[in-house]
Amino acid sequence: MARKYFGTDGIRGRVGEFPITPDFMLKLGWAAGMAFRKQGKCRILIGKDTRISGYMFESALEAGLSAAGADVLLLGPMPTPAIAYLTRTFHAEAGIVISASHNPHHDNGIKFFSGQGTKLPDEIELMIEELLDTPMTVVESGRLGKVSRINDAAGRYIEFCKSSVPTSTDFAGLKIVLDCANGAAYKVAPSVFRELGAEVSVLSAQPDGLNINADCGSTHVEALQAAVVAQQADLGIAFDGDADRVLMVDHSGALVDGDELLFIIARDLQERGKLQGGVVGTLMSNLGLELALADLDIPFVRAKVGDRYVVAELLARNWQMGGENSGHLVCFQHTTTGDAIIAALQVLLALRRRGQSLAEARQGLRKCPQVLINVRFAGALDPLEHPAVRDASARVTEQMAGRGRVLLRKSGTEPLLRVMVEGDDEAKVRGYADELAKIVAEVCV
């Protein structure tokens, strides 16, 4: 059944434009409270990233949940995976994340976690959507939900992250630069790595509500690259605004993406006999990852782009490791969702076990040239159905003669068509990508 409000990763948009408005959030809180309290009273956690609109939407959701008779536990600014974890440990019926992840401050959104710390089942999302289209009611005053704040939420999550590595772990002698994207990890991430013995230098950890993801974090790694080189650090770690994505920078300032990090973790698990099944990537995963894993006899499958599809494939196969080249990595052996801090810790452990630098560890994967161009299109238009776009894609695929691939897909959060071309000849790949992007732009004005 088609969803009216929920996309592939919750509900997201520009602040002040429907549905990212206070009145809709009030109704959404009420609908969620009604859906989850069908067994009586319920508790729902609310966490957020650092964007300024989070305060407004937190208050609106809180009021709606209370009106439905749901008790609310406020976490304040916390990484998205922390909210998944705390929802489980507090035995709450659901967790709500107020975040637009790697988007600028003028966007915001809502994600839900089930009581098990996983994405909501389809039937619950559909129930919430149905309730959103019904008149809002208020329980009688004696049954209104109560609201309280969890003051030690950060400390609980820090200890959880540290528990994902052996108690003997000591990163003494390791010099790290962290870029916290002025986002949700700005407090907890430095504490985790420092408490495990690393020497930590921190960038972009002064959120003001407007600077989240602004020329920093995993979408803008230039400052991190410069800092790693200038400080002669061993490596750099970049988070996105809600800390469910991670990218790294080696000692030379070279970017290490999600495909390479996934390879490093999977190879380490296999060497220790701890890899359960294979690895799940996406349609955007570099062909080099698939080939490198094949050399190690590690099975690899591709899911649709989006962490919910990676997670669904992992669950269907009973595997543990998966992720996207954007840095959204899922380590099911430790947690229930993509977690940037935990994934980074697994990479550092792998480096220590092998006695390698990040630059050395990444050498096991030879990436194929891949060019990605984003082309904006009119909201109501579906560029994938345009004959000129389809013909051009087929023509380029034929010209590549089996030595590459073309992938055209729409963004799940913005009116963008992502044009990706991958192959073994970088000049040809760039030319094909430019050709396709030009055609898309011409027909999608």
- The catalytic residue positions are 101
- CA 404 vs. chain centroid, Å, equals 27
- Using an 8 Å Cβ cutoff, are 166 and 348 in contact? no
- Pairing assessment for the beta strands 321-323 and 329-331 based on DSSP bridges: antiparallel
Residue for token pair 């990218």 = 247
Rg (CA), the chain: 22
**Helices 153-162 and 80-89: angle between axes, nearest 10 degrees:** 100
Q: Tell me how long the chain is.
A: 445
- Residue 221: both structure tokens together: 């790694």
Indicate the SS3 state at residue 82. Answer: helix
**DSSP-based three-state secondary structure for 390:** helix
Distance CA 414, CA 121 (A): 24
Q: Which residues contact 247 (CB under 8 A, 6 or more apart)?
A: 218, 221, 237, 238, 255, 256, 257, 258, 261, 327
Torsions phi, psi of 313, nearest 5?
Answer: -70, -40
CB 279 within 8 A of CB 319: yes
Residues 312, 316, 317: CA angle, nearest 5 degrees? 120
Dihedral sign of CA atoms 85, 90, 93, 98 in order: negative
1: buried, middle or exposed (CB in 10 Å: 19+, 13-18, 0-12)? exposed
Q: Pick from 134, 156, 29: which is nearest to 89 by CA?
A: 156
Q: 199: buried, middle or exposed (CB in 10 Å: 19+, 13-18, 0-12)? A: middle
What is the per-residue burial (b if ≥16 Cβ within 10 Å, else e) of 358-393? beebbeebebbbbbebebebeeeeebeebeebeebb
